[in-house]
Amino acid sequence: MSPPARRSALVTGGSRGIGAEIAARLAAEGYDLTIAARDPETLERTAARLRERGAGEVYPTVAAMNDLDQVRNLVRGHGERFGGMNVLVMSAGTGTAGRVADMAPKTYERMLDINFRAPLTLIQTALPLLRSSAAADPGRGAKIIALASITGVVGEPGLAAYGATKSALISLCETVSLEESRHGVAATALSPGYVDTDMTVWKHDVLDPAAMLTTADIAELALAVTRLSAAAVVPNIVVARAGDQLWRA
């Protein structure tokens, strides 16, 4: 079976930061895109820029990752538009610092909802589309890319709950590849240290943004994963910052 003329990708957290940069790289490759986030105005502005970058169809879709019905409808809408899904990028996430001893349940419940339950639901709902696209393009297959964190690999004081959700996401990617790579679907977690985005502004008083990774660093790796053959499975890519704290965020 010959591969489809056009490829499609769904990118959550696609209106800004790492997600927007990955979407821009996919747009430049000519992908049809669904980008999802909570703010409609930011989504529309990002969609306009993506069209300028050469993307085919771009559908900005408002969806809250802590509402699993909206998550499922997001995937279904993509399938109705494009008939398949070559790449699923899960970039939406949230993080709140706090020590284990005094972290409020509502804090870690929100991180569990957005950082783990939503990705699990996205994958479950998207697998039929991903399998279909992989079957149509057996040489490349279909890819799942999840934005995790280096704190999911090595613990960081004050980031226990955040790191735990990202560790769960890394494990989920490994298991999905074990179960689905025979169908041509492989999952990769990207686990960077601090990246200079809106989410890391709170660190600027102790860490110069120039010392952080860039969104382009992470997008470059994501794009490379999409270009791998179906024979290649990359469970997790850890990206550390330069300096003397290799395994620290």
The answer for 158, left when phi > 0, alpha when psi is -120 to 50, beta otherwise, is left
> Which pLDDT score is estimated for 52?
83
Residue 208's Cβ-count burial label (10 Å; 0-12, 13-18, 19+) is exposed
Domain extent listing, the chain: 8-239
pTM to 2 decimals?
0.94
In terms of DSSP H, where are the helices of 53-189? 68-82, 105-112, 118-136, 160-180
- Looking at residues 145-155, what average pLDDT do you find? 96
CA distance linking residue 112 with residue 93, whole number of Å: 10
User: Among residues 89, 93, 59, which one has the least CA distance to residue 189?
Assistant: 89
Dihedral sign, CA of 18, 21, 23, 25?
negative
Instruction: Give the three-state DSSP class for 14.
Output: coil
> Which pLDDT score is estimated for 204?
82
Instruction: Give the three-state DSSP class for 72.
Output: helix
In this structure, what token pair is assigned to residue 239?
């990206």
pLDDT tens-place string over residues 166-204: 999 999 999 999 999 999 999 999 999 989 787 777 778
pLDDT, the chain, mean = 92
Q: 8-239 in CATH: which number? A: 3.40.50.720
Percent of the chain topping pLDDT 90: 78
CA distance linking residue 92 with residue 96, whole number of Å: 14
The answer for 83, left when phi > 0, alpha when psi is -120 to 50, beta otherwise, is left
Stretch among 93-102, 205-214, 230-239, 240-249 having the lowest mean pLDDT: 205-214
> Which pLDDT score is estimated for 3?
44
The overall longest dimension of the chain from CA atoms, in Å, is 56
> Which pLDDT score is estimated for 133?
98
pLDDT tens-place string over residues 104-146: 898 899 999 999 999 999 999 999 999 999 999 999 999 999 9
DSSP annotation of 199 reads: G
pLDDT tens-place string over residues 2-43: 445 689 999 999 999 999 999 999 999 999 999 999 999 999
CA distance linking residue 224 with residue 141, whole number of Å: 14
